[in-house]
Chains A and B, each alone.
Chain A
Amino acid sequence: MTATPRERDYDVVVVGAGLAGLVAAARAASEGARVGVVALASGNLGLWSGLVGGRPAGRRPAGTDRALEFFLDYALKAGLPYVGGSPDLRLFSPAGHVVQAVAAPATMAATLPARAARRRTGGDGRPPFETSGAGASGAAATAPAAVVVGFTELGDYPAPFIAETAGQEIGLRVIPRSLSLGPAAGRGQAPHLARLFDDPAWFASFLESASRFVGAEARSAAVVLFPPVLGFERFAENLKALRDALGAPVYELPAVPPSVPGQRFWRFWRHRLEADGRVQLHVGRRVTATRVAGGRCLWVEDGVARYRAAAYVLATGGVAGGGLEVDPGTFFRLSGGPGEGQPGALSGSLSAESGDEAPESRGGPAPAPREPLFGLATHGKGTDWLTWGVRVDGEGRPRPARPGDGRAGSRALANVFAAGWVLGCGRGRPTGAYLSIESGHLAGTLAAGLAGSGPGAAGGGARPDE
């Protein structure tokens, strides 16, 4: 029953392959570490719209954000270019509202028409808009500033509604155009449509009808926005073909899940990491056991193999990703209290079956006690699952469940770093994709440094967290 599992040795092991895990793995590998990624699946990437938002105001002086620079650079290498950095982008949200984003896929990085832009003030090197020549008053009434193209089969993308909201937001005329894709669209699921757009023959016929039905308005519009389903692989070519055919700047809008841009990210970054040679991905594996001794993590195991490394990155996701679990019973103490939770009410998945005892009795009748290893904190008002996460020290190492448990300072384990939503987001803290990129970058840097393959753990990316 206790056959010795295969042993695998790395410098750094990353648990979880969502945004934070992939960034941490890429960063550690770029620092020269040999990296193993153990993950059940692609995390919440299928839910991610692709936009990078959530950097708190004033967090970094523009242009000195190393995490973001690394991300943009690696994304370009992965063949999925992102635009961003400085200044922040103004984009439409999936509901048509104007939102600020730190970065966005190049396919979405449209410059929104604004009244100022109509006066031909090209700000940051982007070309000014072609407003059809006439005076602002007369032309603005007839020529739409933007065209929101929808597909009637894609129920999650209500083009008329988005156009209405968007028009109110920017104070200009935004018109919807709905195209039907016919029986080929199936039940109109976004991934199905993306596969359809990857078919060059089908796309050629689509292009012809699109230019016929959208062409007239498109040519006079400052921007034409399509649902983000223009292919998993061929989206760049498709976008270019649409721009040529319509004679207008064509971009994708972010959308609600299931999100094709998030799945593109998974495909492209995974391929790039595997091509790197320094990273091995073990996907479809759930970490079921860990060994902790002497204030360090010794190995993690997934039932197939045992992974040893000098440092570990815990990028398992928050409550949404399944990295934190909420038990019945304990929940009531959480919400019934004055706002602060009690330690152990949520249990980190790494701690679920760990402890100082080796869980060699796995499979026996008595499950290992669910002794929490890490302390938890709420970074908001304590009312919101996104704000719950593990407490960490200034370098992203989880703190112990009970104060004073740590053997070295205030950290629970010397060689474990946490990244992504497992940290929880909250007011004044990074949220969403930016949280994953920043903390993944930091964890990757420090883990590689600990493994002795990088420039050292005292890397400049460190930031005080609490």
Chain B
Amino acid sequence: MTGGPRVRRRSRPGGVRWLEASEVLLDCADVVVIGGGATGVGLLWDLVLRGLDVVLVEQAGLGSGTSGAFHGLLHSGARYAGTDPRTAAECLAENRILRRVARSFVKDTGGVFVRLEEDDPEWERRWRDGCQQAGLRPRRVVAAELLTRQPSLSSRIAAAYRVPDAAVDGFGLLWSMVWAAAEAGARVYFRTRVTGLLTDEAGVRGVRVVGLGGREEDAAREAAEGRVPRVEPGEITASVVVNATGPWARDTAALGGAAQAAAVPVRRDKGTMVVFNSRLVTTVVNRLRPPGDGDIFVPHGPVTILGTTSAVDDGPGRPSPTPGEVERILDQGRALVPNLDDAAPLRAYAGVRPLLVTAAEGGGSPGSTGGGVPGARGADAAGRGAGRGFLLVDHGEGGLPGLVTIAGGKFTTFRAMAAAAGDLVTRLLGKRAACRTAEVGIPRLGRHPRSRPAGPRPGPGPSDLGGPLVCECELVNLSSLLSLFDAGLGLADARRLARVGMGACQAVFCASRLTAALWMAGWPGTRSRPRADEGAIRAEVAAFGEARGGGTRVVEWGSQARLSAVAQALDQLTLGRPAGADADRGRKVVRE
């Protein structure tokens, strides 16, 4: 973290904010990044460190797609050793870098691979060969010793190996990069949808955008239904536009025409995970067998995440976990942790992976492919079937200069993806600036009270130690929550950043306090410009509860069922809300 990022300060102050539906945004920059997931934010940070002027637009909230619904696992690469040693090697390299530059976001839990007696010993040999190729040196662990440290594991262990897996705080990491970039002059707009590309004879020269305003859930739903607000679109002009929209990269590339979409052979793959309310294990536990549905346990703070399933996702919008998937995960998980049913599941969630498709599967695209692009490390993974490698496309080779797509990959390799894309972008701009993300540390939000971007800084500062608690499960106090709202963020963002409502009560008991906090913040305005609106506040709290409910309903048994019944009683009997459409809508998800 020597000296922090050395960047040119722009005259225009950087910042993070929403775009309201009534706003017409006019901005210009060197680069526009579309997509506020790990790839987009990683690229934002990468380009800012190279001294470029960057704008990032995201239609929902930060990390609200794939990066907000992953396993929270910083891979050592061992997971892929048996199937894809090249991805494994990439993960290992990135694992080492992130442990250095993002140290405060990585919880070094370590990891083990466990082969149970019923698992194929042949796979173990293949896996060890793969590890060898990838440069991993898994250390063999004596089963009895492992069991003394991890007593909840099955005693039917045939072999176990230690690997450098770790848990990673994805939300904290993304937020910190965004705020560090904003401090250095970058602009980040949420609730902002790209409706088209600005083009001239030289190619792409920017994007057309509209503000969606309102709630993140609505923005996502409207996007899924293809609805666009009828307002005068704003424009952001830039020399290079980067499409970093992950699983939706193909749709975004389609803004440049069918040929460009065909150059981005990405498909969506749904994964479901279950969160348990206790630390079942203290280290990441993988099952040593061909990757399956419920075979990774990741301890995260007070909870454990078990997953994950894999299925083609062809629906629009965000996927929801289904009871069948949860049942499958639990069935598989019980093999590794026999007493799994003693732990109460808090909720389930689902995310989508961007998988690269083989040429055959992709339908023989006539446009350009990523194969010829220099610097596209891992691009040939597309030729090996649905892989976890990544794809870098310079659409200039397919007739649309100025547009770049970076897709595929995984959270662990986001920095490498950003580095590759950053190299290409810098070259397209005709500049010389080397990637510095492997050397510059990412400052943790709230621990570096230096100059602040426009608006108050989120996160607990030294003066925020007092104040009443709003969320008692995750110990979030009122003043830190208010400072988040002052920064123009909503409850969904506050959840990711401060973990509001993610604890044992799942926002059942703190809903009234969140309502009060929004009121005090003058929501949807800020404390300095209050315009408190009761309807908007209720809608925000209701959307927050609904988003939580979608994940809790599929694990409603035991104590979770009791909690749901209490929540219903509070809503219907105490607060006098009718048994409304919300509950019914949530249930329909379950029946699908």
B584 within 8 A of A: yes
Interface window among A294-302, A381-389, A412-420, A454-462: A381-389
Establish whether residues B468 and A155, one from each chain, have CB atoms under 8 Å apart when the complex forms: yes
The winner among B574, B575, B587 for most chain A CB atoms within 10 A is B574
Measured between beta carbons, the chain A residues less than 8 angstroms from B330 are 328
The A381-410 residues at the B interface (CB cut-off 8 A) are 381, 383-386
Establish whether residues B519 and A160, one from each chain, have CB atoms under 8 Å apart when the complex forms: yes
Knowing A156-B512, A160-B520, A432-B569 touch, does A325 contact B558 (C-beta < 8 A)? yes
A97 within 8 A of B: yes
Establish whether residues A328 and B341, one from each chain, have CB atoms under 8 Å apart when the complex forms: yes
B515 within 8 A of A: yes
The B565-592 residues at the A interface (CB cut-off 8 A) are 565-566, 568-570, 572-577, 579, 583-584, 587, 590-591
B327 within 8 A of A: yes
Establish whether residues A383 and B556, one from each chain, have CB atoms under 8 Å apart when the complex forms: no
A327 within 8 A of B: yes
Measured between beta carbons, the chain A residues less than 8 angstroms from B532 are 164
Instruction: Report the bound CA distance from A335 to B557 in whole Å.
Output: 11
The B520-534 residues at the A interface (CB cut-off 8 A) are 520, 532, 534
The B324-365 residues at the A interface (CB cut-off 8 A) are 324, 327, 330, 341
A322 within 8 A of B: yes
CB distance from A164 to the nearest CB of B (A): 6
Instruction: Report the bound CA distance from A109 to B391 in whole Å.
Output: 68
Establish whether residues A95 and B556, one from each chain, have CB atoms under 8 Å apart when the complex forms: no
The B523-560 residues at the A interface (CB cut-off 8 A) are 532, 534, 537, 553, 556-558
Measured between beta carbons, the chain A residues less than 8 angstroms from B564 are 319, 385
Measured between beta carbons, the chain B residues less than 8 angstroms from A153 are 468
Determine the residue in chain B with the shortest Cβ distance to A329.
B327
Cβ-defined partner of A95 (8 Å) among B553, B576, B591: B576
Measured between beta carbons, the chain B residues less than 8 angstroms from A188 are 468
Knowing A326-B557, A326-B561 touch, does A155 contact B573 (C-beta < 8 A)? no
The winner among A95, A322, A431 for most chain B CB atoms within 10 A is A95
**Size bracket of the B interface:** 35 or more
Establish whether residues A99 and B572, one from each chain, have CB atoms under 8 Å apart when the complex forms: no
Instruction: Report the bound CA distance from A313 to B331 in whole Å.
Output: 39
Q: List the count of A-B residue pairs having beta carbons below 8 Å apart.
A: 132
Measured between beta carbons, the chain A residues less than 8 angstroms from B341 are 328
Establish whether residues B590 and A168, one from each chain, have CB atoms under 8 Å apart when the complex forms: no
Measured between beta carbons, the chain B residues less than 8 angstroms from A157 are 512, 516
A54 within 8 A of B: yes
A332 within 8 A of B: yes
Measured between beta carbons, the chain A residues less than 8 angstroms from B134 are none
Cβ-defined partner of B565 (8 Å) among A95, A335, A386: A386
Instruction: Report the bound CA distance from A230 to B270 in whole Å.
Output: 53
Interface code A85-106, partner B: CB below 8 Å = 1, 0 otherwise? 0000000011101010000000
A18 within 8 A of B: no
A41 within 8 A of B: no
CB distance from B520 to the nearest CB of A (A): 7
Establish whether residues B323 and A335, one from each chain, have CB atoms under 8 Å apart when the complex forms: yes
Instruction: Report the bound CA distance from A433 to B562 in whole Å.
Output: 18
Knowing A155-B478, A164-B534, A385-B568 touch, does A380 contact B519 (C-beta < 8 A)? no
Measured between beta carbons, the chain B residues less than 8 angstroms from A320 are 562, 565-566, 568-569
A187 within 8 A of B: yes
Instruction: Report the bound CA distance from A51 to B566 in whole Å.
Output: 16
Measured between beta carbons, the chain B residues less than 8 angstroms from A249 are none
Interface code A154-165, partner B: CB below 8 Å = 1, 0 otherwise? 011110110011
Determine the residue in chain A with the shortest Cβ distance to B467.
A155
The A357-391 residues at the B interface (CB cut-off 8 A) are 380-381, 383-386
CB distance from A95 to the nearest CB of B (A): 5
Establish whether residues A47 and B570, one from each chain, have CB atoms under 8 Å apart when the complex forms: yes
Knowing A380-B579, A432-B573 touch, does A165 contact B513 (C-beta < 8 A)? no
Instruction: Report the bound CA distance from A330 to B564 in whole Å.
Output: 17
Instruction: Report the bound CA distance from A216 to B536 in whole Å.
Output: 32
Instruction: Report the bound CA distance from A159 to B537 in whole Å.
Output: 15
Determine the residue in chain B with the shortest Cβ distance to A53.
B573
Establish whether residues B515 and A158, one from each chain, have CB atoms under 8 Å apart when the complex forms: yes
Measured between beta carbons, the chain B residues less than 8 angstroms from A127 are none
Establish whether residues A385 and B469, one from each chain, have CB atoms under 8 Å apart when the complex forms: no
Measured between beta carbons, the chain B residues less than 8 angstroms from A168 are 534
Establish whether residues B556 and A47, one from each chain, have CB atoms under 8 Å apart when the complex forms: no
Establish whether residues A384 and B583, one from each chain, have CB atoms under 8 Å apart when the complex forms: yes
Establish whether residues A187 and B469, one from each chain, have CB atoms under 8 Å apart when the complex forms: yes
Knowing A329-B327, A380-B579, A381-B584 touch, does A386 contact B574 (C-beta < 8 A)? no
Establish whether residues B574 and A254, one from each chain, have CB atoms under 8 Å apart when the complex forms: yes
Instruction: Report the bound CA distance from A385 to B576 in whole Å.
Output: 17
Measured between beta carbons, the chain B residues less than 8 angstroms from A335 are 323, 553, 556, 587, 590-591
Knowing A93-B575, A161-B519 touch, does A386 contact B468 (C-beta < 8 A)? no
Establish whether residues B584 and A256, one from each chain, have CB atoms under 8 Å apart when the complex forms: no
The B495-531 residues at the A interface (CB cut-off 8 A) are 509, 512-513, 515-516, 519-520
Instruction: Report the bound CA distance from A53 to B562 in whole Å.
Output: 21
Measured between beta carbons, the chain A residues less than 8 angstroms from B572 are 386, 431
B273 within 8 A of A: no
Cβ-defined partner of A47 (8 Å) among B324, B558, B566, B576: B566
CB distance from A199 to the nearest CB of B (A): 22
Measured between beta carbons, the chain A residues less than 8 angstroms from B557 are 326-328, 330-331
CB distance from B525 to the nearest CB of A (A): 14
Between A and B, 30 residue pairs with Cβ closer than 8 Å are A47-B566, A47-B570, A53-B573, A93-B575, A95-B577, A155-B478, A155-B513, A156-B516, A157-B512, A157-B516, A158-B512, A158-B520, A256-B570, A256-B575, A257-B570, A319-B561, A319-B562, A319-B565, A320-B565, A326-B556, A327-B557, A328-B330, A330-B557, A332-B327, A335-B553, A335-B556, A335-B590, A385-B556, A385-B561, A386-B569
Chain B residues in the interface with A (C-beta under 8 A) = 323-324, 327, 330, 341, 468-470, 478, 509, 512-513, 515-516, 519-520, 532, 534, 537, 553, 556-558, 561-562, 564-566, 568-570, 572-577, 579, 583-584, 587, 590-591
Q: What are the 6 closest A-B residue pairs judged by CB atoms, nearest first?
A: A158-B516, A320-B565, A326-B561, A385-B565, A319-B565, A93-B576
Excluding A54-B573, A93-B574, A326-B556, 9 further A-B contacts by CB distance (< 8 Å) are A53-B576, A160-B520, A164-B532, A318-B565, A319-B562, A329-B327, A332-B323, A335-B587, A386-B568
